[in-house]
Amino acid sequence: MRALIVNADDLAYSPEVSAGICEAHVRGVVTETTALVRSPYARASIAQAQAVGLSVGLHLDLVSPFVADRSACCGPQGKFRRELFAREFKTTVGPGLTCEDLIGIRDEICGQIGEFAALAGRLPSHLDYHYGWHYLPEMMAIYLMVAEQYAVPVRWGAAYAGHNPYRLAPVDLRDRFTGREDAGVESFLSTVDEPWEGVAEVVCHPGYTTPGGLPDPYNGGRERELRTLTDPRLKAGLAERGIELVTYDWLKTELSR
């Protein structure tokens, strides 16, 4: 059995991004999305996704402007982002996150789960994260412990974070599909042509262009991804390969049997 979660990051980043994600579900192959719950657009965006039957998880966020007032660790200039970039790009050796920092981050994660539940009327379908937490092993440990506490699945990329000791996760993560100029149907299908068994996840970032831009490199490519994800040839190509499109709720049910 080969099943695929097509997960669109960044619901609620802007109204334009949320509209594109919902369209990629209604007209395309997106089965799951993941919301920035501290965004002022979160309530409307989660309701919009639920109205079209799109499964919604939580995009844990410690680095965007939406969380800049949460603590000294959070936001674009916060300690967490500085430490993350120091580890990812190896430009400097960061001072490290203290026990106090990590406990505060754990509390913020739990707070975002509570906020999501208040807005959505349920726990998130899964947890994943905004920017590359997997470069910080201590953060990934907290991520898994909180997920286990709430019994929700997680995104996990073994190529980045190593073996996953938590069973509620896809077996594989495919994150090479981005809004490049060549991000067409064949580009997407190439990400799933490498063999796997079980449930894999493809990460994507569809949306409409946000006027004024966004603080990430995806704004210009989101509409290209949207065109690919809604192209009828893509759904047909997945069907020809015997790949079933599923959600994280489906994954949890299967793995809990």
Element containing residue 106 per DSSP (H, E): helix 99-120
Are 88 and 158 in contact, with CB atoms under 8 Å apart?
no
Is residue 18 within a helix (H) or strand (E), and if so which, with residue range? helix 15-26
The residues, any chain, with a CB within 8 Å of residue 52's CB and separated by 6 or more, are: 22, 25, 26
Separation in Å, CA 130 to CA 15, 43, 60, 80, 254: 18, 18, 6, 12, 26
For position 214, what pLDDT does the model report?
Answer: 82
Residue range 153-169: mean pLDDT, rounded: 94
Residue with more model confidence, 33 or 93? 33
- Residues 126-132 have a mean pLDDT of 94
Segment 119-138 shows an average pLDDT of: 94
Q: What residue has token string 């079933």?
A: 244
- Which residues, at least 6 apart from 231, have a Cβ–Cβ distance to it below 8 Å? 28, 184, 185
Segment holding 108, helix H or strand E? helix 99-120
Taking each helix axis as running N to C, give the angle between helix 222-229 and helix 15-26, from 0 to 180 degrees, rounded to the nearest 10.
Answer: 10
Mean pLDDT on 45-69:
97
pLDDT at 83: 87
Q: How far is CA 69 from CA 142, 154, 156, in A?
A: 21, 26, 28
Q: What angle do CA 165, 199, 137 make, to 5 degrees?
A: 30
pLDDT at position 112 is 98
Closest CA to 21 of 37, 33, 13: 33
Look at 179 and 107; give whichever has higher pLDDT: 107
The residue length of the chain stands at: 257
Asked if residues 170 and 155 have their Cβ atoms less than 8 Å apart, the reply is yes
Among the residues of 128-247, which ranges form H helices? 137-150, 158-161, 185-192, 222-229, 232-240
Question: For residue 46, what is the domain's CATH number?
Answer: 3.20.20.370
More confident residue, 183 or 54: 54
Count of domains observed in the chain? 1
Contact 59, 106 (CB under 8 A): no
CA distance 95 to 246: 41
pLDDT at 93: 61
pLDDT surpasses 80 at 102? yes
pLDDT band (50, 70, 90) for residue 82: confident
Confidence check: pLDDT of 12 > 80: yes
The string over 143-172, giving b where at least 16 C-beta atoms fall within 10 Å of a residue's C-beta and e elsewhere, is bbebbeeeebbbbbbeeebeebeeebbbeb
> Residue 61 sits in which domain range?
2-255
Using CA atoms, how far residue 150 sits from 12, 36, 190, 220, in Å, is 23, 18, 35, 36
